[in-house]
Each structure stands twice: as C-alpha cells, then as structure tokens.
Amino acid sequence: MNWTDTTHSYSVSSCRHLGRPCPAVERMIARLGMALDQARPSTTDDFEITGTCLLERCDARCASRCSARFVASHTRIRIFTGVGEDASLSGLDQFADAIFDPAASPFVPKRNQTYPSGLAQALPRRSLPSQPKAQAALAPA
C-alpha cells in the first residue's frame, strides 16, 4: 500500500499473517512521520531515533501483540514487524532495500537471518517552493 501526505510518501508491505498491510503499522509510520516533521526545526539533519515496540492485535490471525523495530531519521523511516531488538539492522535494511528500492543491490538470503513479517517505509517529500517565491524566481530581473 502506498500513500502520500503533506510531509512523507509511505509504502507498507503486506503482513505475512494478514495477507494485507497491517493497520497498526500504517498508523505508527504516519505518526512517526508527523513527529519527525515537528521535530525538524529543533533537530540536526543527522537526528535519528530507534526503538522497539509492541503493536496491538489487528486481526484474529495476528499474534496477541506483534513486536516491531523502527529506525526513524529525517531521511527515512522504517518499521520492521515480527522482529526483536536482537535482529540485525543491516540485514533488515538489505531486505527492505530489495523491496522498496529498485536500484538496490540484489538481495541474497543468508542462513539464520531474521526476516520481518511486514515492512513500512516513509520518505520525506521534497519541499516545494511556495507560490510567492516561485513567482519571484520567474520575474524578469
């Protein structure tokens, strides 16, 4: 599932348990996007938050609570569901790159690699110039 709001473009994979995007992940990534946008004026470009959480049960096919790991910065937000904090972040990122980034290197599965039940990614939208600035740029000098 893909959508865009005023600050980010979002992509959410289907959950292996539900067979569709997880509503809890959709809500969480949208809120992380909003929080990072609000934090931008008081943080540096390299600001990043990471953590783990338990997502509420969405459906009878879900575990009672699904563990998730997230990494959020001003350049990208990712949520990996069904993984714990001990899962290799580099392995999770390589897996997500193979799904979300058409220019990524080919993904080679590894033994004992933890794979998420679902993925979500948000990329910041490029800010568009406001109308007055755009008109000023087009005015003859």
pLDDT (tens digit, 9 = 90+) per residue, 86-127?
A: 888 888 998 999 889 888 877 777 777 788 999 999 999 975
Q: Which residues pair with 120 in a beta bridge?
A: 12, 79
Gyration radius of the chain's alpha carbons: 18
Q: Give the model's confidence band at 137: pLDDT under 50 very low, under 70 low, under 90 confident, else very high.
A: very low
d(CA 45, CA 31): 19
The answer to whether 117 and 126 are in contact (CB under 8 A) is: no
d(CA 61, CA 20): 11
* pLDDT for position 134: 43
Residue pLDDT, tens place only, 38-78: 999 999 999 999 999 988 877 666 766 788 999 999 999 99
Q: How far apart are the first and last CA of the chain?
A: 46
pLDDT at 136 over 90: no
The answer to whether 11 and 34 are in contact (CB under 8 A) is: no
| Chain CA centroid to CA 114, Å | 18
* Close Cβ partners of 105 (under 8 Å, ≥ 6 residues apart): 94, 97
* pLDDT for position 47: 96
Residue pLDDT, tens place only, 8-27: 999 999 998 888 999 999 99
Write down the pTM of the prediction: 0.82
> 4 or 140, which is more confident?
4
